[in-house]
Amino acid sequence: MGKRYLVVGPSWVGDMVMTQSLFKRLKNESPGCAIDVVAPAWSHPILARMPEVREAIALDVKHGEFGWKKRFALGKQLRGGYDHSIVIPRSWKSALVPYVAEVPERTAYRGEMRYLLVNDMRLLDKQRLPLAVQRFVALGGAPSLKPPAIPSPELEVDAANQQRFLEEHGIDRDRPVIALLPGAEFGPAKQWPTACWARAAEALYRRGFQLWCLGSPKDSEVAEAIQAEADCPILNFCGRTRLEDAVDLLALAEHAISNDSGLMHVAAAVGTHVVAIYRTTTPDYTPPLTDNADILRADLGGDESLMGVRELPEGHGLKDVPVDQVLDCIGSNTA
């Protein structure tokens, strides 16, 4: 029997997709190993599309909640089941379950004073490992001065679920599809402006594409604004899909235009061509993990204080990615 891993996963869609690169490394180096992942219940549909994962284990705590009793109870439940744990988050509470579960080898980066909880403590060299995914994958092997190879995430697609969704919503794919992903966590500063989305949608519709807007319920408002401003039909699925539906619908799209978001990483992981728009964040940390992507960056006008802000201050000097530049990434030929 191979090694039994318990991985404590991250709490965001994009990060969870990127952890598949870690799982691939573990499987490449030890094909017979078993990988179970402690993760929020919302993320289980993503983990179910990763063949490397044996089981997703729900930790019923809200984002930011300490949840001492729940973590302790889960740890006791998992005792005796694992040889090695890898903790992705750097918080103290995230390392609690493997410790209570008495996993013999517990690997993580040095974080919030968790020396007792973690017995294979790694120092994070951000210069050697600038990408988030490199930091995840590096935890899957012995410490090394050489950055690890990064296997690209590849989420499985459910063709039957694709067909079910299309039939239930009466969607006729008479045109090739472009997915618009206008949402992004942490505020509007990461979001390409509504007017730009609308102008791009109109141009792409004239080229012969069908347009689908995908996102969470929180993205419904911006999607409706794009619909109202664009002089072309756009199917708005924001808030109307499960996470697994979004995976399958993105796999049907020829292209996906996206802010720096979790769905950007999903689109990349199902093989869709991605046009990734970065405004106040950087692809130097979380790029789409695919060779099939065009990465575009807004011009901050030399004002690095704009990096990471939730809302752009009045009088900012940011110059957005032009619509024509996005359209050029799609190509000049009609669909």
Each residue's pLDDT tens digit, 242-273: 999 999 999 999 999 999 999 999 999 999 99
Identify the CA nearest to 219 among candidates 182, 191, 263, 264: 182
Average pLDDT rounded to a whole number, residues 74-83: 96
How far is the C-alpha of 129 from the C-alpha of 142, rounded, in Å?
15
Spatial CB neighbours of 259, under 8 Å, sequence gap ≥ 6: 181, 182, 183, 184, 190, 191, 192, 276, 277, 278, 279
Average pLDDT rounded to a whole number, residues 265-283: 96
Please indicate, yes or no, whether residues 112 and 185 belong to a single structural domain of this protein: no
Residue 202 in this model has a pLDDT that exceeds 80:
yes
Please indicate, yes or no, whether residues 166 and 133 belong to a single structural domain of this protein: no
Please indicate, yes or no, whether residues 177 and 99 belong to a single structural domain of this protein: no
Among the candidates 138, 171, 196, a domain finishes at 138
Per cent of the chain over pLDDT 90 is 79
Please indicate, yes or no, whether residues 105 and 166 belong to a single structural domain of this protein: no
Largest CA distance in the chain: 62
In a domain? residue 154? no
Please indicate, yes or no, whether residues 34 and 178 belong to a single structural domain of this protein: no
In a domain? residue 58? yes
Model confidence at 318, pLDDT cuts 50, 70, 90, reads confident
In a domain? residue 13? yes
**Residue 334: its pLDDT value, please?**
46
**Residue 73: its pLDDT value, please?**
94
Please indicate, yes or no, whether residues 167 and 204 belong to a single structural domain of this protein: yes
In a domain? residue 53? yes
Please indicate, yes or no, whether residues 297 and 176 belong to a single structural domain of this protein: yes
Q: Domain of residue 89: give its range.
A: 4-138
Residue 327 in this model has a pLDDT that exceeds 60:
yes
3-state SS string over the chain?
A: CCCEEEEECCCCHHHHHHHHHHHHHHHHHCCCCEEEEEECHHHHHHHCCCCCCCEEEECCCCCCCCCHHHHHHHHHHCCCCCCEEEECCCCCHHHHHHHHCCCCEEEEECCCCCCCCCCEEECCCCCCCCCHHHHHHHCCCCCCCCCCCCCCCCCCCCHHHHHHHHHHCCCCCCCCEEEEECCCCCCHHHCCCHHHHHHHHHHHHHCCCEEEECCCHHHHHHHHHHHHHCCCCCEECCCCCCHHHHHHHHHHCCEEEEECCHHHHHHHHCCCEEEEEECCCCCCCCCCCCCCEEEEECECCCCHHHCCCCCCCCCCCCECCCHHHHHHHHCCCCC
In a domain? residue 45? yes
Please indicate, yes or no, whether residues 85 and 212 belong to a single structural domain of this protein: no
The beta-carbon contacts of 192-195 under 8 Å, at least 24 apart in sequence, are: 192/259, 192/277, 192/279, 192/320, 192/321, 193/320, 194/222, 194/225, 194/226, 194/229, 195/229
Average pLDDT rounded to a whole number, residues 83-110: 96
Residue 332 in this model has a pLDDT that exceeds 50:
no
Please indicate, yes or no, whether residues 184 and 300 belong to a single structural domain of this protein: yes
**Residue 65: its pLDDT value, please?**
66
Residue 104 in this model has a pLDDT that exceeds 60:
yes
In a domain? residue 177? yes
Of the CA atoms within 13 Å of residue 64, those in its CB half-sphere come to 0
Residue 303 in this model has a pLDDT that exceeds 80:
no
Overall number of domains in the chain: 2
> pLDDT tens-digit profile of 13-62?
999 999 999 999 999 999 999 999 999 999 999 999 999 999 999 987 77
Please indicate, yes or no, whether residues 163 and 99 belong to a single structural domain of this protein: no
In a domain? residue 143? no
Model confidence at 333, pLDDT cuts 50, 70, 90, reads very low
Model confidence at 67, pLDDT cuts 50, 70, 90, reads confident
Residue 335 in this model has a pLDDT that exceeds 80:
no
Please indicate, yes or no, whether residues 203 and 232 belong to a single structural domain of this protein: yes
CATH of the domain at 46: 3.40.50.2000
Among the candidates 83, 104, 138, a domain finishes at 138
**Residue 64: its pLDDT value, please?**
64
**What mean pLDDT is reported for the chain?**
92
- Single pTM value for the model: 0.94
**Residue 63: its pLDDT value, please?**
67
How far is the C-alpha of 171 from the C-alpha of 165, rounded, in Å?
8
> pLDDT tens-digit profile of 149-169?
999 999 999 999 999 999 999
How far is the C-alpha of 70 from the C-alpha of 57, rounded, in Å?
13
In a domain? residue 253? yes
Please indicate, yes or no, whether residues 171 and 70 belong to a single structural domain of this protein: no
